[in-house]
A = this chain, B = another copy of it.
Amino acid sequence: MHRKLRMGQIGGSLDAFIGAVHRRAAGFDNEIELVCGVFSQSPEKSKATGHALYLPENRVYDSFEQMILQEKELPEGERMDFVSIVTPNHMHFPPAKMALENGFHVICDKPMTLNLQQAKDLAQLVKQSGLVFGLTHNYTGYPMVKEARDMIKNGKLGKLRKVVVEYPQGWLSRAEENNDYKQAIWRTDPAKSGAAGAMGDIGTHAENLAEYVTGLKITELCADLTTFVPGRQLDDDGNVLLRFEGGAKGVLHASQISNGEENALKLYVYGELGGLEWHQMEPNTLYYKTQEGQRLIRTNVGEMSPSAKAHLRMPAGHPEGFFEAFANIYRNFAFAVKAHMEGREADSLYDFPSVEDGIRGLAFIDTVLASNVSEQKWVKFVE
């Protein structure tokens, strides 16, 4: 099969932030083209977005149901190959389910669903369908995150002891949801966002990153969540003690009221032999520390793991950022879809977050919420 994959997008109207991120990420490596979409629940907005994106009018739909059914009728090679779901959380599951049931691969924003039950149902559907499912936990797409994971897998840190993952943001320090700020409104509305606020929106990124890089699963945790902004319905800050399989301990804290912080996701991992540190806001450096000294591992300087190399596009010193990491998720997803179409196994070098990562995320949300109201110190992390 020698052609670009065809993407249909659900959500992502012009005034949304993440829709355009997905579109740019999808198109970045010339492996995917947007061919259709339903960009808003408002048909007018959807049309306007499709027009601005130079889509033909007949490929801009009024509802995801319409899109899935009509696209299905188009001939192979014309119809979309997969859907990209970029709606608020409550609108992830319904289109994902229908797409899978109608034979379309799915890539979806996180958290994967509104609740854990949906997540498990979705996993079941993915399994039954045999189709490809990707989840945009985009931070695992950074080359230096791949490098960190590879170093740990290869024993550079020895047995792991401690993990600190922090994700402070400050943009919800005030009640922005009362200021007609779309991003704030749905994220603080439990009907759209789910049962958690900051913990769902960014805590799940932190959890995913920590588990991805360390290769260890959280086994129990102790959480203290707070809603600092008066009138807000969901947590806007949370501090969590972590315990990992194998005995490592850790801390996760995530916040949307850490005033003045931008998007400061950071990860620290320490083992018997050394430590690693990575900052999302300076993503092209990985700090590798031992008692003998400190190395800056920089993208495309010296030797790197095949995995890091496979997710880099530029020589050293030409900074790659958020879009490029996001594009790695889409490209890897596209490789897997192509492999599926061609009856091949996908190359594990080009990994991307899966439906299982999605289940972990929802289980994390459930566990921190349970812990938050528990008087017991530790709550088991159960999927």
Contacts and interface: CB of A to CB of B under 8 A. Distances in A.
Contacts of A29: 24
A318 B168 CA distance: 13
Contacts of A314: 21, 322-323
Interface string A270-312: 1111110000111110001111111111100111000000000
Contact of A292 (B21, B258, B280, B302): B302
A78 to B, nearest CB: 15
B293 A302 contact: yes
Do most interface residues of chain A lie in helix, strand or loop, or is the interface mixed? Answer: loop
B170 A54 contact: no
A344 interface: no
Contact of A293 (B255, B270, B297): B297
A323 to B, nearest CB: 6
B249 A270 contact: no
B4 A30 contact: no
Contacts of A228: 161-162
A315 interface: yes
A130 interface: no
A260 B28 contact: no
B298 A294 contact: yes
A317 interface: yes
Given A255-B270, A292-B303, A320-B321, A166 B169 contact: no
Q: How many copies does the complex hold?
A: 4
A274 B270 CA distance: 29
A85 B328 CA distance: 27
Contact of A171 (B261, B291, B374): B291
A186 interface: no
Contacts of A323: 28, 313-314, 320-321, 323-324
Given A17-B315, A250-B239, A298-B294, A162 B255 contact: yes
A237 interface: yes
B258 A270 contact: yes
A255 to B, nearest CB: 6
Contacts of A169: 317
A317 B264 contact: yes
Interface string A152-176: 0000010001101010111101100
Contact of A257 (B2, B21, B162, B283): B162
Contacts of A293: 295-298, 301-302
Given A162-B255, A239-B249, A255-B270, 19 more contacts: A2-B51, A161-B259, A164-B253, A168-B270, A169-B317, A171-B291, A222-B222, A224-B243, A237-B249, A258-B275, A259-B289, A259-B291, A260-B289, A262-B301, A283-B319, A293-B295, A295-B296, A313-B323, A318-B321
12 contacts: A17-B315, A30-B54, A157-B259, A164-B166, A226-B249, A260-B294, A263-B315, A263-B317, A263-B318, A319-B322, A321-B324, A376-B377
Q: Which 7 A-B pairs have the closest CB atoms?
A: A260-B289, A262-B317, A263-B317, A319-B321, A321-B321, A262-B316, A293-B302
